[in-house]
Structure 1
Amino acid sequence: MKSMEEQIRITTYEEAAEILAKVGVLPLAPLIPEHPSISGITKAENWHTGTELDPWAWRARFPGEGLAGYGKFIKKKAVLVTKEWFPVFVAASGSTLALEERYNNGLSSREALTLLKIIRANQGIDTRSLRAEAEMKAKEKKSLFDNAVTELQGSLDIVISGVKERHNAEGEKNGWNSTSFETASHWLKESGLSTYPGSREEAIQWLHTRMDGVWSPAAIAWINKALSW
């Protein structure tokens, strides 16, 4: 019997949106057993083509259009969480302590605290500007920066809000696009969503109810373990 990922083949962004709405959580690359991923259900030849059929470009469209929260939320891997699920996912998976409190308790890095303060003051800031503001442009600080950004996504403090094109002084596109970030609370507000009012336990139960009958038992067992549910 074929897995869900093997049964699904899509070509368009709209088809990806339908799958995401059905499963709630859709990784960019294979991550959850017996569960679809963007790369697993699309054609390899469409990737990095710069066309409307390029799945690599969809990762920016989903959060930009308010259809899904996007970031390295699970095991430091990039996933999309549908708009309907996202407030609940934050309550179920995000830290219950403010970052300042986690830092004071030795549970967070100084770099993460520095970056979050900058992102709060500059919602949608791109990677290059963020590194400059944090005085982390030096090569030897890149890993510290990358680790801090990943830490903030894993705790659901921030999301990837989109991708910005890099331009030269003449306004022409120049070089690779740059990832931009905003706080999860800001993305929720901009997307017309409210924070989930229930407890962590209630949020987990809500998600389990949505997963039942859609996710395989293996996929549910995996995410329970991965997120300590």
Structure 2
Amino acid sequence: MMCTKDKIRTAEDMERQVLALGFLPFFRCGIPGFSIEERTATEYWFSDEEEGPWEWKGPVIREGHCAYGKLYNKKAGYVSLEWLPHLMNWRRSRRYAKDEDTAALDDVVLQAIWGEGSVTVKELRCLLGFAKRRGRRCETDLVDAMQSDGKISLEPILTRLMMGMHVVISDFEYNIDRHGRPYGWGVARYTSPEVLYGRQDAGCTPEESYRQIYGHLRSLLPGASEKKLQELIG
């Protein structure tokens, strides 16, 4: 049965629940009670007076005990480091690009992230030639594959790379006001799991990793439908 019924009221509570469950989506996922959104005390979800899960995302990542990104059906969530090797092992054996051209674009973006170590979307656009730098455009093979105006959304590419466990979010960066306080929505910084957590080795085949994840989630979520469980595992 699913444990940790206490409501989330602090960043420490949120991290504790991720570590206890192993996997935890940020938003509702169709499995009742299995999300940070549903487990957070109402007064902390989008509060004007109190910090909440939105502000706690970065601090929990920086603690270094769980990875974060769009990991569950293209939506955000955490996985504990205990289960990270198995999720990486399974997801990296799968393909999330719809065709060879899409896979090639994903690979160019991934190579750029690996080359820099970590990037924001703005930095990535400069690297790939989607934004001007020093008065001229950067040149990459990717630009040749784009429309003539160079417009492309990096969001679906980054989402596929996160779903494939090639990329995670290492932190969120905020603008600072004149009083030294952060404000606005945080800007995600992307990196590879290896950069943040070192080499991950599940010590088994992808299929065995899948079976271990499935068994864990099935025991944790006995009432979940097979469809929702499959969507969660990815």
**Bin of the TM-score, shorter chain as denominator length:** 0.7 to 0.9
Query: 1:132 Cα deviation (Å)?
Result: 1.8
Q: CA deviation at 1:23?
A: 1.6
Q: Is the 8 A contact 2:121 2:154 kept in 1?
A: no
Instruction: State the partner residue of 2:116.
Output: 122
Q: 1:74 aligns with which of 63, 72, 89?
A: 72
Matched residues in 2 for 1:142 and 1:43: separation? 41
Q: How does 1:60-209 map to 2 (within 5 A)?
A: 60-95=58-93, 106=100, 108-137=102-131, 144-166=153-175, 176-189=185-198, 194-209=200-215
Which position in structure 2 is the counterpart of 1:21? 19
In structure 2, give the amino acid aligned to 1:125: V
**3-state DSSP of counterpart to 2:24:** strand
Does 2:221 align with 1:215?
Answer: yes
Gaps of 5+ in 2: 133-148
Which deviates more from structure 2 when the two are superposed, residues 50-59 or residues 64-73? 50-59
Looking at structure 1, the residues matched to 103 and 200 of structure 2 have their Cα atoms a distance apart, in angstroms, of: 28
CA shift, 1:118, in A, is: 1.4
C-alpha deviation, 1:184, in angstroms: 2.2
> What is the TM-score normalised by the length of structure 1?
0.77
Which of 40, 43, 57 matches 2:41?
A: 43
CA distance in 2, matches of 1:74, 1:184: 16
Answer with 1 or 2: which has the greater Rg: 2
In structure 2, the CA distance between the partners of 1:83 and 1:227, relative to structure 1 (3 Å rule), is: closer
The runs of 5 or more residues in structure 1 that have no matched partner are none
The structural deviation recorded for 1:186 is 2.0
Q: CA deviation at 1:96?
A: 5.4
Is the Cα–Cα contact under 8 Å of residues 91 and 203 in structure 1 kept in the other structure?
A: yes
Q: Is the 8 A contact 1:111 1:144 kept in 2?
A: no
Considering fraction of residues, name the structure with more helix: 1
Aligned length: 216
Letter in 2 for 1:130: L
Q: Aligned pair in 2 of structure 1 residues 135, 24: CA closer, same or farther (>3 Å)?
A: same
RMSD: 3.5
Query: 1:50: Cα distance to partner?
Result: 8.4
Identity among equivalent pairs (%) = 21
Q: Distance in 1 between matches of 2:106 and 2:223?
A: 35
Cα distance change of structure 1 residues 195 and 89 upon mapping to structure 2, 3 Å threshold = same
Q: TM-score, normalised to structure 2's length?
A: 0.76
The offset of 1:210, in angstroms, is: 2.6
Secondary structure of 1:144's match? Answer: coil
**Superposed displacement of residue 83, structure 1:** 1.3
Q: Is the 8 A contact 1:32 1:223 kept in 2?
A: no
Distance 1:76 1:219 in 2: 19
The AA in structure 1 aligned to 2:204 is G
Query: C-alpha displacement at 1:173, in angstroms?
Result: 6.0
User: SS in structure 1 opposite 2:201?
Assistant: coil
Residue 215 of structure 1 and its aligned partner are, at CA, apart by 1.9
Query: Residue 65 of structure 1: CA displacement?
Result: 1.8
Give the stretch that moved more between structures: 60-69 or 156-165: 60-69
Q: 2:10 aligns with which of 3, 9, 12?
A: 12
Distance 1:174 1:9, change over 3 A: closer
